Structure formats: structure tokens, C-alpha cells
Amino acid sequence: MCSHGHSHNCASEHIPEVPGDDVYRYDLVSYIDLEKVTTLNESVDGAGKKVFKVMENRDDRTEFVESDCDHELLFNIPFTGHVRLAGISIIGDEDGSHPAKLRLFKDREGMSFDDCRIEADQEIDLKQDPRGVVDYPLKASKFANLHHLSILVDANFGDAETRVFYIGLRGEFQHEFRQRVAIATYEARAQLKDHKNEIPDAVTRTLF
């Protein structure tokens, strides 16, 4: 499993509470490639991807993920293009199973717990937030342009297992993957050399 360093996010950083749905929108779920989301140490296979819900369903507690053999959970989240992440919200239970610390990693696909020994791009100490009213801002310099996010739940508030009901990501979609765009552009442009046997020579006729 991951090493348990105890470096913390800046204690003086103000963590705003969100009084209503209109203050922040956590809409990047529509740009997550949900079929390819993986969660390590989940007690039920496939449960982890279900916590990435539309914001309006964040109070739904019928779907959640719970850790298996200890308190750690590791989410590997691919996006369908490049995005800019600005904030995160997370909902847990009103007990010791609520996540207490997150470590975030940018553009490191397929991370395992052993990979988490490297320095995180950002670490966040969480409040217990069973209603999802706390917004945790992310570093603009780190998360301005990424295609993959890994989230490690590194600690909870004391229980043997961790339970998560919702993870919301705030930000905006930036652009499609350049390689796909380049291929699409190439295919859309007629290539004369590829069709030279299909295009008849031009014939000039005079109509009387």
C-alpha cells in the first residue's frame, strides 16, 4: 500500500463552504470516461466509478464505494479530452469512515498503491462533509491541462474502512486529444494520391 506521509495542505488556505448549488458547479463528470475508471481496494468491483454522479444526484446514498482491507482507496480517472480542474467536492458518512486526506496526481495513468510513494501534485486535508457543501480549490498551475487524474484517499477519521458517496470535479473542458483531431482532419481532407484511379481526367467539351 502507499506510504503514509504526513505533509499537509497549507493550513492557512481558506476552504469555502458552498451554501447552494448555484455557487459552484461540479459538471466535469460528463467528460470522465466512466467505463475506464478503476478503483483499487474497493470492496465491490465497479462500485468506485458510481460515486462520479451528476451534481443533482450527489445526495443519493444508494450507490457508494467502500474500501476493502484497510482505509485506502485509489481512483484512476481518465477524461475524454484535456480538462482544467479548479476544485473538488467529496461526500462521506457522518462517522470515522469519512475520508480525511486526499493526495492528487496528474496524468499518471494506471497508478498502483506502490506508485503513490512519489510526491503528489496536491494534498488536501478534508473536513467531515456529509452534505457536500465544502469546495476544495485546486492549484491552477498544476491542473490547468490534464487528461487523467488519480485520487488517493490516504486517511479517514478513524474507522478501519473508508466510505465515499460522491466525488465532484469542478472545472472546464479544454480540447479533444490532439492525435484524434489530427486523424479526423486528415481523413476529412480529400487525398488526391489515394484516389487517383477513382477520379476521371477532366474533359472539356463544347456544347452546341
Grid cell 469555502 is found at 16
* Torsion angle (degrees, nearest 10) of CA 89, 94, 95, 96: 10
What pLDDT, on a 0 to 100 scale, did the predictor assign at position 177?
Answer: 80
What pLDDT, on a 0 to 100 scale, did the predictor assign at position 208?
Answer: 43
pLDDT of 20 above 60:
no
2.60.120.470, 2.60.220.30, 3.20.20.70, 3.40.50.970: CATH of 28-195: 2.60.120.470
Higher pLDDT, 194 or 136: 136
Query: How far is it, in rounded angstroms, from Cα 68 to Cα 42?
Result: 5
What pLDDT, on a 0 to 100 scale, did the predictor assign at position 3?
Answer: 44
What pLDDT, on a 0 to 100 scale, did the predictor assign at position 193?
Answer: 54
pLDDT of 188 above 70:
no
Query: How far is it, in rounded angstroms, from Cα 190 to Cα 200?
Result: 15
Query: How far is it, in rounded angstroms, from Cα 196 to Cα 147?
Result: 39
Q: Please give the helix or strand (H or E) that residue 181 lies within, else none.
A: helix 178-188
pLDDT of 18 above 90:
no
In sign, the C-alpha dihedral spanning 90, 91, 92, 95 is positive
For the chain, what are the domain ranges?
A: 28-195
Q: What is the pLDDT of residues 92-118, one digit of tens each?
A: 999 999 999 999 999 999 999 999 999
- Cell triple for residue 114? 506502490
Which 8-state DSSP code applies to residue 116? G
Q: What is the pLDDT of residues 115-170, one digit of tens each?
A: 999 999 999 999 999 999 999 999 999 999 999 999 999 999 999 999 999 999 99
